[in-house]
Amino acid sequence: MASSNLKPRNQNIALDKNSSVAVQVHYHLRQQILRLNLKPGMALSEKELSLQLGVSRTPVREAFIRLSEEGLVDIFPQRGTIVAPIRMDEIKEAQFLREILETAIVRRAAENIEKKFLNLLETNLANQKKSLEHADFTEFMELDEEFHHLLCQGVSFPRAWRVIQAVKGQLDRMRFIGLPQPGHAALMFHQHSVIFEAVKNGYPDMAAKEMAKHLTELWASIERMTLDESSFANKMKP
């Protein structure tokens, strides 16, 4: 597996007083798990995290429950909480559900999407290109996420996006590991560009076909990674 330029973001949390503390703690911990700053098998202490983040234990406990529902932590009553291992059966299921939802979403986007979302998608692609030039794969993954979210927003399906987010946590960890593979991020960018052109030009069948191809390539990348068992195991070590 290729060496990476996955640059960890600042792990401190700056709380927004106008937003739910529990939601912010959940988002922070989720990002740390997806970026493998918190690796599979790591023990998570409710008390230590509350002190580290400067919050009470209640929002940390609530975040653990949400993360457990997403398959990202395992909670053992009276024993503690750990970051969940990578589970391939959950990744396969997430890939299946994501493909069903996102091909339908992109088809509808190609049929009818507001101009402002086309502009936002175009800006997003320009930023993806810049992140590739700097080999900043952490930023690229954030922009990849935004690209897919914008398509969902463009057809006014916010609940569909929440469903996608809820099921793909395990999948996202593998996406993050896979981006530094030689040529993989560049291929993702190219496929995003093709999807955008199909949406922009109003070709629903082509948009759906290219989205399916894009998500299939993601699965192929995961299979390639897991074949290199020793390198994959090293990535997973706490």
pLDDT at residue 192 greater than cutoff 50: yes
**pLDDT tens track for 150-184:** 999 999 999 999 999 888 888 888 888 888 888 88
Beta bridge partners of 80: 76
Boundaries of every domain in the chain: 21-83, 88-236
- The CATH architecture annotation of domain 21-83 reads Orthogonal Bundle (1.10)
**pLDDT tens track for 25-71:** 999 999 899 888 999 999 999 999 999 998 999 999 999 999 999 88
CA distance 45 to 235: 22
141 close to 175: Cβ distance less than 8 angstroms? yes
Q: How far is CA 83 from CA 74, 162, 186, 220, in A?
A: 6, 22, 30, 25
pTM above 0.85, yes or no: no
Per-position b or e across 4-40, b if 16+ CB within 10 A of its CB: bebeeeeeebeeeeeeebbebbbebbbbbbbbbebbb
Is pLDDT larger for residue 19 or for residue 16?
19
Please give the CATH number for the structural domain made up of 88-236. Answer: 1.20.120.530
CA distance 151 to 211: 11
What's the average model confidence in pLDDT over 206-226?
84
**pLDDT tens track for 128-150:** 999 999 999 989 999 999 999 99
pLDDT of residue 237: 54
